């Protein structure tokens, strides 16, 4: 084959251009510090880079966004529960002080004020939020746990109980002794010493007070469940609604009787206190039920005050045609907890929320309210006793009436002081149960925090590993590239010199 000068020129120019291509590639790698700038440079490196970058982005999302957010949520939850533990512990301390007996009026006033302050704090803590999201309200993070202002909104509420919800309290009938003063002490309508009685009353205490008076609660027991999980229910009993509106003592509600449960077959619903008082036979029938038998009580409440817990977070209820938590009424409904989980790793989720029913139960506020009301009642009777004692021996007053009313007031005072001791001892037990629940929730949050810390450490290691692998796959070795570029430059210069000499020679030089 004959090789002409033109062929040699073309081949030389092509080879020189290829040297320039190599130089350009090496120069690009040095300036970008990457092995490839487009997939065609090296498909294997490009594919591996896409996979490693995808993994690194996922790890970075978990490590830099999800985990810090989850950690902050858990930290705020732990802080709120810590505060609740302190508040409940304070309630226990006040109950212990009161249960010691022999309290002065000053002691009672101090305990009363302390309980009021603790009462206002406990549910306010449940309204804690993180970045505008309430942390104890399950999926309803845009809604506070309690009402932030008085509101008139009708709810039909269904509470799901069992016979463990039945308890008892000591009712001291003080009649209208609390209204005694200089102008009323002679009235024959004032309660006498013989009318002062102390009675043990069985009841079901609902979660709210000041309920609607015009409706009778519907009380059923669940006897079985349908295949779809809906309950089959039968009536348990139908209470009579208290109608003694004019009486300042809501427990004196039936005819002229002092105790609403004088009839052993009666059950009396007291809307003012949110209680159902149980006659002996009704009480015994309920206690014969198996502990796992569900008792549902459906009632209505429309008037809400600041600090009342919103029923949407606790019960199956309905308001303005909107139904909340319908699934709670099914066979496994209560187990359907509103869990908020964060993705904190590859195929790994972590529950971060604690729901209000684990800590901020209605029983805390209801028990404190009862203790406060009892102390108020005792304080009123103490004032009456002091007033009547100041009237003794004063000729301006009828001493016969003074003595009669004083004897009645002292009897009531003795009953109430005894009731204080036993009621506050019971309060200690109730608050200790609430404290145990709060500590259990606090432990659960702490365990989630430890798990999150372990995941964070592991992701930190993974992130470093992926960053290293990505660097090894994509980053160029500058020292090696500098040597190769130097070599390419020398090769290029040599090629130019050789080409210059070659192109100056032709067949004419040999003729």
Distance CA 222, CA 502 (A): 106
Cβ(445)–Cβ(77) below 8 Å? yes
* Angle between helical axes of 67-99 and 105-125 (0-180°, round to 10): 160
Whether residue 498 has pLDDT greater than 90: no
Q: What angle do CA 450, 454, 457 make, to 5 degrees?
A: 135
**Beta carbons within 8 Å of 182's beta carbon, 6+ residues apart:** 387, 391, 397
> 129: burial class by Cβ within 10 Å (0-12, 13-18, 19+)?
middle
Confidence of residue 256 (pLDDT cuts 50, 70, 90): very low
Helix (H, G, I), strand (E, B) or coil at 276: strand
Distance CA 258, CA 171 (A): 10
Residue 261 confidence (pLDDT): 47
Tell me the pLDDT tens digit for each residue of 154-175.
999 999 999 999 999 888 888 8
Residue 163 confidence (pLDDT): 93
**Beta carbons within 8 Å of 93's beta carbon, 6+ residues apart:** none
Whether residue 255 has pLDDT greater than 60: no
Range with the poorest average pLDDT among 152-156, 246-250, 370-374, 419-423: 246-250
Residue 156 confidence (pLDDT): 96
Range with the poorest average pLDDT among 201-215, 373-387, 470-484: 470-484
Residue 9 confidence (pLDDT): 72
Phi-psi bin for 172: left (phi > 0), alpha (psi -120 to 50), beta? beta
Distance CA 177, CA 382 (A): 11
Residue 51 confidence (pLDDT): 77
Confidence of residue 41 (pLDDT cuts 50, 70, 90): low
Q: In terms of pLDDT, which residue wins out, 93 or 474? A: 93
- State mean pLDDT over 446-464: 87
Confidence of residue 222 (pLDDT cuts 50, 70, 90): very high
Q: In terms of pLDDT, which residue wins out, 461 or 16? A: 461
- Distance in Å from the first CA to the final CA of the chain: 21
Residue 279 confidence (pLDDT): 86
Calculate the CA 14 to chain-centre distance: 76
Helix (H, G, I), strand (E, B) or coil at 258: coil
Cβ(370)–Cβ(201) below 8 Å? no
Helix (H, G, I), strand (E, B) or coil at 115: helix
Range with the poorest average pLDDT among 172-181, 298-307, 311-320, 439-448: 172-181
């Amino acid at each position: 084959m004959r090789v002409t000068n033109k062929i040699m020129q073309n081949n030389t120019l092509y080879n020189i251009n290829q040297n320039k291509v190599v130089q350009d590639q090496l120069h690009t790698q040095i300036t970008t510090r990457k092995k490839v700038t487009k997939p065609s440079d090296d498909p294997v490196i490009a594919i591996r880079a896409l996979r490693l970058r995808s993994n690194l982005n996922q790890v970075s999302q978990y490590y830099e966004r999800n985990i810090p957010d989850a950690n902050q949520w858990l930290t705020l939850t732990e802080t709120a529960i810590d505060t609740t533990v302190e508040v409940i512990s304070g309630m226990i301390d006040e109950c212990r002080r009161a249960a010691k007996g022999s309290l002065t009026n000053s002691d009672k006033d101090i305990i009363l004020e302390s309980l009021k302050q603790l009462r206002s704090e406990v549910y306010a803590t449940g309204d804690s939020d993180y970045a505008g999201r309430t942390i104890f309200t399950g999926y309803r993070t845009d809604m506070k746990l309690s009402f932030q202002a008085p509101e008139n909104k009708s709810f039909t509420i269904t509470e799901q109980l069992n016979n463990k919800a039945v308890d008892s309290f000591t009712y001291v009938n003080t009649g209208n002794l609390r209204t005694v003063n200089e102008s009323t002490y002679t009235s024959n309508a004032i309660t006498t010493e013989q009318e002062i009685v102390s009675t043990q009353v069985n009841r079901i205490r609902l979660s709210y007070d000041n309920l609607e008076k015009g409706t009778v609660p519907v009380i059923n027991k669940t006897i079985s469940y349908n295949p779809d999980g809906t309950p089959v229910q039968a009536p348990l009993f139908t209470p009579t609604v208290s109608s003694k509106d004019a009486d300042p003592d809501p427990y004196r509600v039936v005819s002229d009787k002092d105790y609403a449960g004088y009839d052993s077959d009666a059950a009396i619903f007291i809307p003012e206190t949110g209680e159902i008082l149980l006659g002996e036979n009704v009480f015994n029938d309920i206690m014969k039920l198996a502990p796992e038998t569900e008792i549902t009580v459906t009632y209505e409440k429309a008037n809400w005050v600041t600090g009342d817990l919103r029923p949407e977070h606790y019960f199956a209820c309905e308001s303005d045609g909107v139904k909340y938590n319908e699934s709670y009424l099914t066979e496994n409904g209560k187990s359907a907890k509103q869990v908020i989980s964060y993705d904190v790793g590859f195929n790994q989720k972590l529950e971060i929320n604690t729901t209000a029913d684990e800590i901020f139960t209605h029983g805390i506020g209801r028990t404190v309210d009862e203790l406060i009301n009892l102390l108020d009642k005792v304080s009123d009777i103490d004032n009456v006793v002091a007033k009547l004692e100041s009237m003794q021996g004063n000729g301006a007053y009828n001493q016969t009436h003074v003595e009669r009313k004083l004897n009645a007031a002292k009897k009531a005072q003795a009953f109430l002081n005894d009731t204080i001791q036993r009621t506050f001892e019971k309060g200690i037990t109730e608050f200790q149960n609430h404290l145990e629940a709060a500590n259990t929730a606090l432990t659960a949050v702490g365990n989630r925090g430890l798990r999150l810390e372990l995941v964070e450490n592991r992701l930190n290691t993974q992130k470093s590993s992926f960053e290293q692998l990505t660097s090894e796959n994509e980053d160029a070795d500058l020292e090696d590239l500098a040597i190769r570029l130097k070599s390419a430059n020398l090769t290029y210069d040599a090629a130019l010199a050789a080409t210059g000499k070659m192109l100056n020679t032709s067949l004419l030089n040999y003729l």
